[in-house]
Structure 1
Amino acid sequence: MTTCATASQALHEPLAGTAATATTWLLIEQPGPWGSKALTESHLDPAVGRALESAADGTGVRVALIRRPGRHADCGRAIRRRVFAAHTAPGASWVRTTEITDPAELLDLDFAALGAGARFDGTPAPAPLALVCTNGKRDRCCALLGRPLAETLAAQATCDTWEITHIGGHRFSPTLLLLPYGYAYGRMTPHAVKEATEALRDGRVITENSRGRSTWDRPAQAADLALRAHLGEYGADAVTVTEVSGTHPEWTIRLRHAAATWSVAVTSAAPAGATATPASCGATPVPQERLTAARPRCELRR
């Protein structure tokens, strides 16, 4: 059986610049089944789910549901739920957590402030937080490939592992998001996750199989990874994006590293003669555009 993930891997589709964008993640524990649009198709009150989506729109906050790996008990709505908020900006990354009974309490949050990095009312959560996309109702690859990875990571107990409803990029399954820094990964294995989480504890970022840092839009994600590869830089907060100019399909990204300013030209296009593939299982196959980052150019050294 050909899936979107096997088709993507067979074509060696690059991962850089494919991460979901969010400066801040708001994660709400919700056991039981998830539908394709999980915030309104689960045992979370759909009215609350819609209100959370609306409140987060345009603020930089991305809301998702999480649950522990394994069997998902159908326990209804009246439960104590773990909630995490994580801000991903360089030099200001954090993860905080609390417990609530009624998710409607979260509608009292100032979402614009949360997206800008205002601290969430909770206690610091131990890093790293590992989130594996497993929502088979959204895409079967997430269930077929994501759930076994999540269960293995939970059994190894090397990091705090949760399943998550959606982080995009089904065709790169199994996909992973690591917080607090917000780097997403694709085509992951338990060994690769172990390396990435051990590095994160030391404030370093593994760039192999990285899709990018969710803090930035996708062209900037590709530029960040290109500069890191060019410099051999792994420090999580060593690179920051300062300016994005241009529009699809060409951008110029300016970044700061130490005492230097760099620019990276990024383009988006489907390769000539590219094979049509689905962006997700069941989608119409089309030639998929890829982001290409040129060699970074140093503009200024202080």
Structure 2
Amino acid sequence: MGTAPHAVVWVVVEYPGAWPANGFDGLGLEPGVKGGIYRAAQAARARVLLVRRHGRRARAAPDRRWGVLRFEGSGAHRQQWGTWSRDEDLAGIVEALGTPGEVGHPPVVLVCAHGRHDACCARRGRPVAHALSESWPDLVWECTHVGGDRFAANVVVAPDGVYYGALDQGSSVTAVEEHLADRIHAEHLRGYTDLFPPQQAAVTAVLDRFGPAGRHDYAVTGTVRDGDRWKIRISGRPPGPGSLTVEVRAHRTAPTQLTCRGTARSSAVVYEVTSIRGE
């Protein structure tokens, strides 16, 4: 828990061919178009991912799509979609990043299957993408690296901004089914992308203590840091607890292998919840 990279805007670009190791960065797009997308994404603090449908659908898609997915804390998440056949068509992404988008679209389920980035992403991600596509073919996309391999399989629901990790075929179907019913469980939850790591850990611990809840049922209302410790105030909606203070501390693990591809051993920051108190 506490390992979801911060993001509130997502750009997805359908690309059914082989993905470069560095994803969108490695595509040989027209420089002016690519530069415009970079500048607009940077200004919006958006993450850019390549996506494709799983299996045969990836090869048979008649039109490639792009989308801009935007998270709003109110729950009115917004999306804007377009299609492209020429590089110049992707300029629509720049315009979409400057507009609010439309409400009412279903969420997008992204499964990291980026084998050229790390073999585990594809080895474990593709079976998960297959299982999820069987149940939700119109919602599920394979995608390039979403961060935090730790031997995969990582699933992101956007623009909800919810990261799940260490999933397999069975657990992924359960997690997404519950998510779509607005019941987010602590198990497999890496965090909410609009929160920072200690806040993510605090919310995950609350879900673990009090049971699953909706994406917007808990809100972080205050964060105080003292060195490697935090006091985080969380307010909840009924029937859950109304107001809580969660204490979190951070520490580093002993050096270990963090990815399948990485040969060097590195330490990672781990967030531990030491107490949860009602107010």
TM-score using structure 2 length: 0.84
Q: How does 1:128-277 map to 2 (within 5 A)?
A: 129-157=108-136, 160-246=139-225, 249-258=228-237, 260-271=242-253, 274-277=254-257
- Give the distance between the partners of 1:89 and 1:293, measured in 2 at CA: 27
The alignment covers a number of residue pairs equal to: 271
- Give the distance between the partners of 2:274 and 2:31, measured in 1 at CA: 44
Q: Which residue in 2 is equivalent to 1:288? A: 268
- Give the distance between the partners of 1:20 and 1:59, measured in 2 at CA: 15
Q: Which residue in 1 is equivalent to 2:8? A: 23
Give SS of 2:23's match.
coil
Contact 2:185–2:213 under 8 Å retained in 1: yes
Deviations 1:59-101 (Å, cap 9, x if unpaired)? 34222121111265599xxx84323333334432425342232
The letter of the residue matching 1:292 is E
The letter of the residue matching 2:71 is T
Q: Which residue in 1 is equivalent to 2:81? A: 98
Give SS of 2:142's match.
strand
Contact 2:68–2:80 under 8 Å retained in 1: yes
Deviations 1:8-40 (Å, cap 9, x if unpaired)? xxxxxxxx0111211122222122111122112
Following TM superposition, by how much is the alpha carbon of 1:163 offset from its aligned partner in structure 2, in angstroms? 0.7
Contact 1:90–1:240 under 8 Å retained in 2: no
Contact 2:6–2:194 under 8 Å retained in 1: yes
Q: Which residue in 2 is equivalent to 1:7? A: none
Moved segments of 4+, more than 4 Å: 43-47, 71-75
Segment drifting more, 204-213 vs 277-286: 277-286
Give SS of 1:85's match.
strand
The letter of the residue matching 1:287 is S
Give SS of 2:82's match.
strand
Contact 2:186–2:205 under 8 Å retained in 1: no
- Give the distance between the partners of 2:226 and 2:60, measured in 1 at CA: 46
Does residue 55 (structure 1) correspond to residue 35 (structure 2)? The answer is no
Q: 1:179 to 1:269 in 2, by over 3 A?
A: same
Contact 1:17–1:219 under 8 Å retained in 2: yes
Gaps of at least 5 residues in structure 1 are: 1-15
Q: How does 1:50-89 map to 2 (within 5 A)?
A: 50-57=35-42, 59-70=44-55, 73=59, 80-89=63-72
Give SS of 1:98's match.
strand
- Give the distance between the partners of 1:245 and 1:164, measured in 2 at CA: 35
Contact 1:93–1:181 under 8 Å retained in 2: no
The letter of the residue matching 2:147 is G
Deviations 1:170-215 (Å, cap 9, x if unpaired)? 1140110123422111111222222222222322212211101112
Q: Which residue in 1 is equivalent to 2:21? A: 36
- Across the aligned residues of Structure 1 and Structure 2, the Cα RMSD in angstroms comes to 2.8
Q: 1:80 to 1:46 in 2, by over 3 A?
A: farther
Q: 1:150 to 1:44 in 2, by over 3 A?
A: farther
